[in-house]
Structure 1
Amino acid sequence: MDIAVTLKEIKSLSIADRIHLVQEIWESIAAEQACPDLTVAQKRELDRRITDYEANPDDVMTWEEIKASIRGQQ
């Protein structure tokens, strides 16, 4: 399959048809539930975060607090 040729053909479709194509592609990916395996480091980090949350369930920030924190760093 030549991706460049395929993309050129896709661009010739109407916007509605391209949106429909994207939806079909997205649904096919979701149906396969293609998820890459986590690395050992990623698994360790998730485990660390879960352990921390379980030890400190009230040590959380609201979305508003997070946004304010980010804005304060700029």
Structure 2
Amino acid sequence: MITDFKEIQDSALELDEKHRAELAKKLINSLEKSMDEDIEQAWIDEIKRRKAEIKSGKVASVSGQEVHKAARELLKK
């Protein structure tokens, strides 16, 4: 079994395009599983922070309709 990173890398780069793409997909998917958990927790934390800001009166909520109107105005400039 190949355990040296450089050997693995060199072997992977010798693969044909189809197999390199398949390997790349599998490697990315293996990373996304742990990243998904981190991203999910980050969103939960962000939601809690925003909710607290609204409840405290620090910020006011804005309707989606108002946001879209403002965005359209910005795009016209």
TM-score if structure 1 supplies the norm length? Answer: 0.48
Max radius of gyration: which structure? 2
Query: When the two structures are superposed, what TM-score results if normalisation uses the length of structure 2?
Result: 0.47
